[in-house]
Amino acid sequence: MPEVEQILHSFYELIVDGSLLRHCVASLFRVTVGFYLAVLIAVPFGILLGCCQSIYRLLNPFIQFLRPISPLAWAPFAILWFGIGDLPAIFIIFLTSFFPLLVATIAAAAGIHPMYFQVAANLQMSRWNSFRNVVLPAIIPNVIMVLRVTLGIAWVVVVAAEMIAVKSGLGYLIIDGRNALRLDRVIVAMTAIGTIGVILDSVMRKLERIESVRWRIEQK
């Protein structure tokens, strides 16, 4: 283990020369883009599959086939397809976030109590209206919860994703520190990852307090 003074010293060093901030921003950028891409695709797709059983039956085997393959197994292909730079890491983070989000959204949409659709039919809601007034609000609490969990997983994977094809990011800092036998730097990067993880989670928790989401918590 490196000495405490040494860790503090390299902490100071990395802050002063601005590289810690640079690495943090690089990692956050990749996680943000990969995660939001996954949300934008997985949530609408999940609603469609959750509401339409015939499409679900058709596609579910493929989803279950792809789901257990570790996103890191895609690393060589990520480099092959996207070259060197941010894109392979973003792709891996996208894959990591996509399947948990998709599966949870499908379950949330399929689990909406049939009674609510019966009420919607009685109130003569149009398809669009029942989507807006029933499907969306009913799944939002579940989706927000899984967003929180998934963002955590995405943040875990960023280190692994940055071990390939990039020269920046907290994951790179760890690999670089390991190669140079600078374990003090590795610990600095680990600390930064943990701190950002706490901040990200508290931001996501704020979402759970939105008025239209609170019903789910208070109902219990």
Any idea which residue has 């979402």 for tokens? 207
Residue 138 or 175 with smaller CB distance to other proteins: 138
Residue 167 or 214 with smaller CB distance to other proteins: 214
CB of 211 to other proteins, least distance (A): 9
- For residue 134, give the DSSP letter: I
CB of 104 to other proteins, least distance (A): 18
CB of 141 to other proteins, least distance (A): 9
Could you list the residues that contact other proteins (CB under 8 A)? 51-53, 110, 114-119, 121-125, 129, 133-134, 137-138, 140, 212, 214-216, 218-219
End-to-end CA distance of the chain: 47
The answer to whether 145 touches 201, Cβ cutoff 8 Å, is no
CB of 208 to other proteins, least distance (A): 14
The answer to whether 97 touches 34, Cβ cutoff 8 Å, is yes
CA distance 99 to 91: 13
**H helices present in 52-169, as ranges:** 53-66, 75-82, 86-110, 114-122, 127-130, 136-161
Q: How buried is residue 61: exposed, middle or buried, by Cβ count under 10 Å (0-12/13-18/19+)? A: exposed
Residue 54 or 202 with smaller CB distance to other proteins: 54
CB of 100 to other proteins, least distance (A): 23
Residue 50 or 169 with smaller CB distance to other proteins: 50
Residue 137 or 197 with smaller CB distance to other proteins: 137
The answer to whether 150 touches 219, Cβ cutoff 8 Å, is no
Any idea which residue has 């599966």 for tokens? 103
